Amino acid sequence: MGLKNKSVVKAGHVKLMSAVALSAVMAAAPSMAQTKEPIKLGLLIALTGGDAINGLNGGAGVRLAVDEINKAGGVLGRQIVIVSADDQSDPTAAVNEARRLATQEKVDFIFGPQASQRTLAVLPVLTAAKIPQISTSGSLDINPKIGPYNFSTQSNAADQGYHMAHYLTDVMKAKKVSILTDNGAQALSAVPYIKKELEKGGATVTATQEFPFRSEDKTAQLLSLKAGNPDAMILWTNTPEDLGVVLNNMADMGWDGLPISGPNATVMQAAGAAKIADKALFTKVAGVAYRGWTYCPGEDVANSPYVKFKERLKAANPDKYKDLLPTISSYAYDGIMIMKAAIEATGGTDPEKLKTWIEGNADKVATVSGPMKASAESHFLAGRDVMTPILDPLMTNEQGLFKRADCK
């Protein structure tokens, strides 16, 4: 073989190597591009309709979480982009928007909806599409069988009901209790569990009544309950107007001394209710709060995760912070942070891997509302231990934390 032939062979070798290298680069290019594609988060909340107050606050928490994640470099180097959807506080609209997010927008995961009726409506769509979902719904009809990829950062109705009932029986020593709820799915699903827990605590239920959301007057319901002569009341409201109207109606009837035990929403909505109801009417009102929002005298809470979260939320929303309920924003924020941790740990957005990881590892994620945990049997991340009763939801310390009812 002559020199010329050698160089021909060498040139051919170089060409071959170049082609291989080029092919390798070409082959790698799409996958590299793919891994840098943003993660699409479908924000399926109520921007309009009766539940838009939840959407406003939940959306603020989600946006803060996404902003912090993206500023810190994203998840696995990928930025999160929000695809917004308005469920209009309506289950039918929620289904349409869920379908759009799943099939047209092809989102990687979804935050929302924020009410049980709507979450129950969208579950078939999102389960069929295998889209991981963080909702804030507490109905007991929501479970891993019908929603394997749905997790909720809202405490479920039974766990809230447990605290509501046992506050009255164990702390207030009530023997006869009446129940008044709105007609939402969460409240109605809680009633049987509350009755069971009241009976376990040695109390009897004198009567049960319900009212439509934002109805102008609850006097008829209250008069009917008063006839049973209860010594305490379970009151499940989800809007500040309803809470304020019930307290005013009770005061008009001269029934304002009755101890009341409410759910998580009572804690969140009390400040709004105080716009129409006198503050004195709240002194006998208890609610159920996430432990992260609470304090006992003597505890150093100035740097608690929730207090720091509120500061960041305020900095991110300087103009509208006064209209926000940081409590609602906080567990929305926690939901996104749990999903972020799951994506990082599993290396992607595979729904099966995310589901398994969250079921086993949610408690390892630092959250601001309180320690969250899930299992294969329950996807309610805020379990019974995360919640605690508080008394007088208007009485907060300088950091805006609620005083626990079990403080010594």
Partner 1 sequence: MWQEYAIILVRGIGLGSVYALMAMSFNIVKVSSGILNFAQGNMLVLGGMIAYAATAYFGALSPVIWFLVMIASALIIGVVVTIQGYLTLLPLSHSEDQQSWLITTMAVSIIIGAVLLLAQGPNALMVRSIFPNIPLFGMRVPAPFLLAIGLAIFWYFALQLFMSKTLVGLAISALWQDPVAARAAGLKVRRLQLLAFGISGLVVGSTGFVAAPIITLASDSAVAYVLNGFVAVVIGGVASNTGALIAGPLVGVVAMLATFKIGGEFQGLFSMLMLVAILLIRPQGIFGDTAARRV
Three-state SS at 65: helix
Backbone angles phi, psi at 261, to 5 degrees: -120, 120
Q: How far is the CB of 308 from partner 1 (least distance, A)?
A: 26
Among 40, 42, 44, 55, binds partner 1 (CB under 8 A): 55
Q: Is 352 in the site for partner 1 (CB under 8 A)?
A: no
Three-state SS at 178: strand
Q: Give the C-alpha separation, 63 to 67, whole Å.
A: 6
Q: What DSSP character marks residue 386?
A: G
Query: Based on the number of CB atoms within 10 Å of its own CB, is 377 exposed (0-12), middle (13-18) or buried (19 or more)?
Result: exposed
Among 127, 215, 317, 356, binds partner 1 (CB under 8 A): 215
Q: Which residues pair with 83 in a beta bridge?
A: 42
Closer residue to partner 1 in complex, CB, 248/349: 248
- Helical axes 326-346 vs 305-316, angle rounded to 10°: 100
Among 153, 169, 238, 239, binds partner 1 (CB under 8 A): 239
Kindly state the tokens that stand for 111: 């935050």
Q: Give the C-alpha separation, 401 to 302, whole Å.
A: 10
Stretch that binds partner 1, among 41-49, 65-73, 74-82, 389-397 (CB under 8 A): 41-49
Among 37, 217, 344, 363, binds partner 1 (CB under 8 A): 217
Taking CB under 8 A as the rule, which mask of x and - marks residues 78-117 in contact with partner 1? -----------x----------------------------
Among 8, 28, 220, 296, binds partner 1 (CB under 8 A): 220
Among 39, 43, 44, 46, binds partner 1 (CB under 8 A): 46
Q: Is 394 in the site for partner 1 (CB under 8 A)?
A: no
Q: Give the C-alpha separation, 373 to 291, whole Å.
A: 14
Query: Based on the number of CB atoms within 10 Å of its own CB, is 119 exposed (0-12), middle (13-18) or buried (19 or more)?
Result: buried
Q: Give the C-alpha separation, 275 to 211, whole Å.
A: 21
Stretch that binds partner 1, among 22-30, 52-60, 76-84, 129-137 (CB under 8 A): 52-60
Among 17, 103, 200, 252, binds partner 1 (CB under 8 A): 252
How distant, in Å, are the alpha carbons of 67, 165, 286, 296 from that of 283?
38, 18, 8, 17
Taking CB under 8 A as the rule, which mask of x and - marks residues 185-214 in contact with partner 1? ------------------------xxxx-x
Q: Give the C-alpha separation, 267 to 396, whole Å.
A: 11
Q: Is 275 in the site for partner 1 (CB under 8 A)?
A: yes
Which has the closest alpha carbon to 230: 250, 210, 254, 203? 203
Rule CB under 8 A: which of 354-383 touch partner 1? none
Q: Is 257 in the site for partner 1 (CB under 8 A)?
A: no
Q: Give the C-alpha separation, 150 to 135, whole Å.
A: 7
Per the listing, tokens 């008069």 go with 223
Closer residue to partner 1 in complex, CB, 252/363: 252
Among 56, 66, 243, 313, binds partner 1 (CB under 8 A): 56
Q: Where are the beta strands (DSSP E) in 198-259?
A: 204-211, 232-236
Kindly state the tokens that stand for 80: 């999160």
Q: How far is the CB of 52 from partner 1 (least distance, A)?
A: 3
Rule CB under 8 A: which of 277-336 touch partner 1? 323
Q: How far is the CB of 200 from partner 1 (least distance, A)?
A: 25
Q: Is 49 in the site for partner 1 (CB under 8 A)?
A: yes
Q: Is 20 in the site for partner 1 (CB under 8 A)?
A: no
Q: How far is the CB of 185 from partner 1 (least distance, A)?
A: 13
SS in 3 state form for 229-245? CCCEEEEECCCHHHHHH
Among 52, 94, 158, 362, binds partner 1 (CB under 8 A): 52
Q: Which residues bind partner 1 (CB under 8 A)?
A: 46, 48-53, 55-56, 89, 183, 209-212, 214-217, 219-221, 223-224, 227, 239-241, 244, 248, 251-254, 272, 275-276, 323
